[in-house]
Amino acid sequence: MSETVRRIQGKCHCGNIRFTFLWPDSGAKIPVRACSCTFCIKHGGVYTSHPKGQVDIQVENESLLTRYRFGTGTAEFFICSSCGVVPIVTSTIDGDEYAVVNVNSFEGVKRSELDQSISDFDGETTESRLARRKRNWIPNVSVKLGPYN
């Protein structure tokens, strides 16, 4: 049986940071997590990932990209300095890049297609946090900086 792959486009509000997320279709709804950390609460971060997925990230104007880390410093938030949206978060683990995508930046995906829950990672050690990301986050990540093709 062949696995169906769904192509999901996303971007920040102004379009400077864009991504294409290849989601291996494993159910009717996409599970998403509202993160309960202070940063995600303040900007409304709701994320999804798939351990067999792929995301291609394109940043048109790198001078408008702010990369933000806090807490353990193990996650890097891609913030558009022009419009303020955070469409992507990455984490480098053992030399490999992993990512989650903010579903609030999806294009053409209805809210009814999302199954939202709240995630609380308080008390998690850095080691267990990185192990969880390695298991659950998108493992195939490419980042291109510069004008769109």
Helix (H, G, I), strand (E, B) or coil at 40: helix
Q: Tell me, what CATH number does 86's domain have?
A: 2.170.150.70
**pLDDT (0 to 100) of residue 1:** 41
| pTM for the whole structure | 0.89
pLDDT of residue 40: 84
CA distance 48 to 134: 14
pLDDT in tens, 2-39: 568 899 999 999 999 999 999 987 677 899 998 888 88
Nearest to 39 by CA among 96, 128, 121, 109: 121
Burial class of residue 111, CB neighbours in 10 A (0-12, 13-18, 19+): exposed
Q: Give pLDDT tens digits for 60-97.
A: 999 999 999 998 899 999 999 999 999 999 999 999 99
**Cβ neighbourhood burial of 103 (10 Å; 0-12, 13-18, 19+):** buried
Domain of residue 14, residue span:
5-145
In this prediction, residue 127 carries a pLDDT of 92
Q: Cα 30 to the chain's mean position, in Å? A: 13
pLDDT of residue 54: 97
First-last CA distance in the chain: 34
Closest CA to 34 of 46, 49, 48: 46
In this prediction, residue 26 carries a pLDDT of: 62
Q: Total structural domains in the chain?
A: 1
